[in-house]
Amino acid sequence: MRKSTLTAALSVLALASGCSMNPKLDIPAPPVAAQFAGADKAEPESAATIPWRQMFGDARLQAIIALALENNRDLRVTTLNVEAARSQFRMARGAQLPSIDANGSYTRQRIPLETAGAGLGLPSDGAAPSGIEFGQYSANVALTAFEIDLFGRLRSQSEAAFERYLASDEGRRAARIALIGAVVDAYLAERLAVEQLALTERTLIDWRESARITGLLREARQASGLEVSQADGLVRQAEADLQARLRAQAQATNALQLLTGAPLPADLPPPVSLLEQPILTQLPAGLPSDLLTNRPDIRQAERELVAANADIGAARAAFFPRLSITGLLGVTSLAFDRLFDTDNGNWSFSPQISQPIFRGGSLQGELRLAEVRKSIAIAQYEQVIQAAFREVSDGLAGRATYGKQSDAQQAAADAAARRVELSNLRYRAGVDSRLELLDAQRSLYSARQTYLDLRREELSSATGLYRALGGGEGEE
């Protein structure tokens, strides 16, 4: 009978603790168009499924990305934050379970005979000993203030902590994707600096030789002072560019080492030039709805929204009564060898219920704060989606234009090179002055520098589109 009564009571408590005060959560619809601007109606599956090693085929770049994923301090901090969030969830979940402690003690005390005798109704004539001294052993198992979660307050807190743990893990994935993109951008900047430096060095050698020849022609009265000044000006410009390229190369290398978290190894594979860099540039975007599943920052914002909704449930439940139980089961004896005898058992059971009556508006304030934070989480969720949509649209605009622009710039550089050849022939034939040849050389130098800049921008735009689509999350 007692067993069935206890079982029924536990069943009632279990049903009561299953109650939740969380409001119904409706995830807002994505506040973006159904299709990306500039994308085909039948856009294939998103490029987010492409592994980053396949996206970036340069073996040197792959080794640097792997080094960064292992050593980058920002990513390491983000990973540790995930562990911290997991611990917080465990703490919140532990509050839903009973806290049981075992303890043992020994107490030695002395009681004056007069006090002891008065308690027992005995006379105190001074003939007996002046006091009683004894020791007491005890061993107990205690249940301390276990709260029966009648209205789901603890469960809502645990749910919020769990969702924030998941959100932090999504943040780690987002940080990983961002790190890969940052490493690629830094690597491309370093390659650009190196190749522009090499171009400047070659050009400076040619222009110094041209200035020397122009000076000799001036001495022979076959060139004007204007031609000499023009040739010297080109040399000085190339010398200034050389220092700028040296600075850009050093800064790009420093940025790359910061991202990798360690000096670059000496045994890295040889680099691939920008013009031959095997980075995929024509990436499919898929549909905007794919972003909701492919981008971890969007999933992170959604988790934060669910956590904020659970906070409202916890704040609502705080208005209702709390039932807690404290219990003790143990044994007590004056002699240690008889501590666990049958007759030495003791127990206590102390249920307690509390109902908030007056808190000065603090509970209402906590509820209102939770509701406002949920509204903020909704706005942030929508904001993240809109930002992701814009990033993809920008990447698609680059996909549609950079290839054509790069081809046109390459043609312009080829035309400038052809002009230098023709100007040199015309100069040798005496048809054109040396000024025309110098101007053609300057145009060729500028066209080649611009082409390298444009190629780096094209590769960086493709990397940005890959990152915007959520690519790079996988391990491969």
User: What tens-digit pLDDT sequence spans the chain (476 residues)?
Assistant: 444 443 444 444 444 455 778 888 888 888 888 777 766 666 667 888 889 999 999 999 999 999 999 988 888 888 888 888 888 888 888 877 788 888 888 888 887 776 666 555 555 555 556 677 777 888 888 878 788 888 888 888 888 999 999 999 999 999 999 999 999 999 999 999 999 999 999 989 888 888 887 788 777 776 678 778 888 888 898 899 999 999 999 999 999 999 998 888 889 999 999 999 999 998 888 888 788 888 999 999 999 999 999 999 989 888 888 888 888 888 888 777 777 877 778 888 888 888 888 888 888 999 999 999 999 999 999 999 999 999 998 999 999 999 999 999 999 999 999 998 998 888 777 777 777 888 888 899 999 999 999 999 999 999 999 999 998 876 54
Amino acid in the structure at residue 116: A
Q: Which residues are paired to 350 by β-bridges?
A: 326
Asked if the structure places residue 266 within a domain, the reply is yes
Residues 91 and 103 grouped into a single domain: no
Over the Cα atoms of the chain, what is R_g?
Answer: 39
**Cβ partners under 8 Å of residue 42, min gap 6:** none
Residues 33 and 140 grouped into a single domain: no
123-133 b/e with 16+ CB inside 10 Å = b?
eeeeeeeeeee
Q: C-alpha angle 155/158/163, rounded to 5°?
A: 125
pTM above 0.95, yes or no: no
pLDDT, one tens digit per residue, over 259-315 is 998 888 889 999 999 999 999 998 888 888 788 888 999 999 999 999 999 999 989
The first and second tokens of residue 150, run together, are: 């009648």
Helical segments of 95-122, H only: 113-120
Residues 290 and 339 grouped into a single domain: no
Asked if the structure places residue 302 within a domain, the reply is yes
- Residue ending a domain, choose from 354, 371, 405: 354
Across 309-455, the runs of DSSP E, i.e. the strands, are 322-333, 345-354
- Residues 172/82, Cβ–Cβ less than 8 Å: yes
Cα 401 to Cα 275: distance, rounded to the nearest angstrom: 17
Asked if the structure places residue 49 within a domain, the reply is yes
pLDDT, one tens digit per residue, over 330-366 is 888 877 777 787 777 888 888 888 888 888 888 899 9
Residues 280 and 328 grouped into a single domain: no
Number of domains in the chain: 2
The predicted pLDDT at position 306 comes to 93
Asked if the structure places residue 198 within a domain, the reply is no
The predicted pLDDT at position 123 comes to 55
Residues 164 and 279 grouped into a single domain: yes
Helix H or strand E encompassing 472: none
Residues 289 and 382 grouped into a single domain: yes
Name which of 472, 474, 286, 292 is nearest 395 in CA terms: 286
Residues 307 and 377 grouped into a single domain: yes
Asked if the structure places residue 226 within a domain, the reply is no
Asked if the structure places residue 209 within a domain, the reply is no
Asked if the structure places residue 207 within a domain, the reply is no
DSSP character for 109? E
Residues 372 and 419 grouped into a single domain: yes
322-333: strand order across its sheet: 100-112, 131-148, 322-333, 345-354
The first and second tokens of residue 472, run together, are: 């790079």
- Residue ending a domain, choose from 330, 354, 378: 354
Residues 140 and 281 grouped into a single domain: no
Asked if the structure places residue 69 within a domain, the reply is yes
- Residue ending a domain, choose from 308, 337, 354: 354
Sort strands 131-148 and 100-112 into parallel, antiparallel or unpaired. antiparallel
- Please give the residue range of the domain that contains residue 115: 97-120+130-148+322-354
The CATH number given to whatever domain includes residue 408 is 1.20.1600.10
The CATH number given to whatever domain includes residue 349 is 2.20.200.10
Residues 419 and 348 grouped into a single domain: no
59-78 b/e with 16+ CB inside 10 Å = b?
ebbbbbbebbbeebeebeeb
Q: Which residues are paired to 104 by β-bridges?
A: 139
Residues 307 and 373 grouped into a single domain: yes
Residues 144 and 258 grouped into a single domain: no
The first and second tokens of residue 412, run together, are: 């312009």
